[in-house]
Amino acid sequence: MKSRDATRRSFLGTGALAGAAWTACSSPEAEAPAEPDQPSSLGTPVRRYGQRSPYEKAARGVRESQTPEAASSRTPLDQTYGIITPSALHFERHHAGVPEIDPATHKLLVHGLVDRPMAFSVDDIKRLPSVSRVHFVECSGNSGGEWSPAGAPTVALSHGLASCSEWTGVPLRILLEEAGIQPEARWVLAEGADACLMQRSATLEKALEEGIVAYGQNGEAIRPEQGYPLRLILPGWEGNTNVKWLRRIKLTAGPQYVKDETSKYTELMEDGTAWIFTFEMDAKSVITAPSGGHGVDGPGFLEISGLAWSGRGKITQAEVSTDAGQTWAEAELQTPVYSKAFTRFRLPWEWDGSETVLLSRCRDETGYLQPGRAELIEQRGRKSAYHCNRIKGWRIAADGSVTSAEV
Amino acid sequence: MQKSSLLSIATIVACAAPTLLAQTYGVGRPASADEVAAWDVTIGPEGRELPTGSGTAKDGAQVYEVRCKECHGDQGVGGDHAALVGNPEQLKQTPPLKTVGSYWPYATTLFDYTRRAMPFEEPGTLSADQVYAVTAYILHLNGLVSEDDVLDRESLPRVVMPNREGFVRDPR
């Protein structure tokens, strides 16, 4: 590509005389038409639904699975910009495939410890006062490979089970109050309309404070893979509590201990006990550029950029080390910083061409500082499969290749 | 003076109270009892919502053979998908083995999940009797009920799982 551009530039630079020579000469190599300074034909007409450039190939990472309906796909975080994940690249984790739901017949049932069991159509929900909030959703199994010293080789594999969207919908509080919350109610059970009727219990307190029944994602209807037509959003809580294809909310006195909050999504400790209802996703950050699998094309200026997020509030600080953790520099946070949302951080850098390791760490508004691997294992042991938020490193070799740095 | 301002504060609070209560919009419609009953498949740990029906491990072995074995293996182990048989000691090994017998705190959860989500490719197709039976079979493989024990809405919640006390609330 480079040599072709160089040829074209020199051709154009020599002007009309060279042009005449080219025409006269007509050697096979020179027959390829030069790219004109201005397009000589019209482009494509307007269209009803836009498509990205055919040159753009960013795609979710999908691994072969015997059961692709109960599998996950990963966001290519190295190929997204800013803080919003394009809806088509939002990670997926399904337990029984993506149902096709007609919004005209879908309903949300609210019952249990309520004064009046209620049914809401999607149109009903859209009549009610709405909010739009930017929040990440992260599978609690995200970064599971980072429990190992080696870590995953690319940022999609290491952190791609997290994505961030602007969600629009009705505060769950409004729907619960339409039904009348009884005083004994302390928990809610949320159920999806997928084939396995995916369920999770959540506290009523969280539901009332921050729960959203969302129908919008990034300015349009939620994608089917993300829960069309309705999805529960519990900001900052483990991904699977954000129940997709939401069809039922039951108010209860206690949690239901469903399969996915007992056999799965619990944290086993070294002594054999397990933490249950580990809802909040702790603060985490990762450098997305440069990151594993992308070479750095020689020494010189290079912006280091990454994402930080916390399920406990706003990110207040992101730091980057360009010397394997000996020194740390404060990265600039993209503003506004939203609570429980991706926060983009950036740091200008001059790479001198010698081998080094880049690290990032972040702090949230509770004062919590993202831990290193040893510190995390000291707190949790090695039997916990979920909630790995340790510091991630990328090694840049002298030849510019980038790989996961062993810690 | 002081008394009267206290009184007026009380009046203000009393007047303000209705607006502090939930505002409703009159949107949505009441759900009928039948409509709720048709969808309310939730089964809590006390098992109060369990349906009528019953089954034994002996019955369940036949259901398991046809509907479960392909994925979960002969007698609940060795399949390509989740192992169903184990004991809490296996939680201490590396890597830990999380199974119905080693990890699940409530037998009711096994009934609930099997009824609504299994078999994987045909969820919701087992009858209540079949679910009780295959639940009994899996619990029997874990040594928790005998082959002829009848599981139903009364007896299933009384099965105490070995890891019942193994869970603690998130201390973070």
Report CB contact under 8 Å: B116, A197.
yes
Instruction: Flag whether pLDDT at A366 surpasses 80.
Output: yes
Contacts of the segment B137-140: beta carbons below 8 A, 24+ positions apart: B137/B57, B137/B59, B137/B60, B137/B61, B137/B63, B137/B64, B138/B60, B138/B64, B138/B76, B138/B84, B138/B85, B138/B100, B138/B110, B139/B57, B139/B100, B139/B107, B139/B110, B140/B57, B140/B60
The answer to whether residue B45 is domain-embedded is yes
Q: Is B117 on the interface with A (CB under 8 A)?
A: yes
* ipTM beyond cut 0.85: yes
Which residues of chain B carry a pLDDT beneath 70? 1-22
Instruction: With CB atoms and an 8 Å threshold, state whether A257 touches B106.
Output: yes
A81 touches chain B (CB under 8 A): no
Q: Please say if the pLDDT value at position A43 is more than 80.
A: yes
Cα–Cα distance measured from residue A60 to residue A68, given in angstroms and rounded to the nearest whole number = 14
Phi then psi for residue A107, to 5 deg, are -140, 155
Q: Assess A282–B contact: CB distance below 8 Å, yes or no.
A: yes
| Model pLDDT for residues A310-356, shown as the tens digit of each residue | 999 999 999 999 999 999 999 999 999 999 999 999 999 999 999 99
Q: What is the pLDDT of residue A35?
A: 77
Domain boundaries, chain A: 68-275, 284-404
Per-residue pLDDT, A11: 36
At A288, the pLDDT band (50, 70, 90 cuts) reads: very high
**How many structural domains is chain B composed of?**
1
Cβ–Cβ below 8 Å for A277 and B170: yes
The mean per-residue pLDDT over the stretch A392-406 comes to 98
In a domain, B163, yes or no: no
In-domain check, residue B56: yes
Please tell me the CATH code under which domain A68-275 is placed. 3.90.420.10
Report if residue B98 sits inside a domain.
yes
Partner-chain contact A266 B22, CB within 8 Å: no
φ/ψ of residue A356, rounded to 5: -160, 175
Question: B9: distance to nearest CA of chain A, Å?
Answer: 27
Read off the pLDDT of residues A95-117 as tens digits, 9 standing for 90 and up: 999 999 999 999 999 999 999 99
- CATH number of the domain at B95, please: 1.10.760.10
Percentage of chain A exceeding pLDDT 90 = 89
- What is the per-residue pLDDT for B14? 44
Question: pLDDT category, A32, cuts 50, 70, 90?
Answer: low
Q: Which residues of A touch B171 (CB under 8 A)?
A: 275
Q: Which residues contact A181 (CB under 8 A, 6 or more apart)?
A: A113, A114, A115, A204, A251, B22
Residue A29: per-residue pLDDT? 54
The residue range of the domain holding B125 is 32-158
Domain formed by A284-404, architecture? Sandwich (2.60)
Among candidates B25, B117, B166 on the partner chain, residue whose Cβ is nearest the Cβ of A128? B25
* Mean pLDDT of all residues in A379-404: 96
Domain presence at residue B5: no
Give the residue from chain A lying closest to B167, CA to CA: A274
Asked if A138 and A144 touch (Cβ cutoff 8 Å), the reply is no
- Rounded to two decimals, the pTM is 0.90
Q: Is residue B19 part of a domain?
A: no
Residue A177 DSSP SS3: helix
What's chain B's length in residues?
A: 172
What is the pLDDT at residue A30?
Answer: 54
Strand partners, A359: A321, A393
CA distance A148 to A392: 11
Helix/strand/coil (H, E, C) string of chain B?
Answer: CHHHHHHHHHHHHHHHHHHHCCCCCCCCEECCHHHHHHHCCCCCCCCCCCCCCCECHHHHHHHHHHHCHHHHCHHHCCCCCCCCCCCHHHHCCCCCCCCCCCCCCEHHHHHHHHHHHCCCCCCCCCCHHHHHHHHHHHHHHCCCCCCCCCECCCCHHHCECCCCCCEEECCC
| pLDDT band at residue A171 using 50, 70 and 90 as cut-offs | very high
Count of C-beta atoms within a 10 Å radius of residue A338: 20
- The answer to which of A164-178, A360-374, B9-23 has the lowest mean pLDDT is B9-23
From A67, A109, A257, residue closest to B36, measured CB to CB: A109
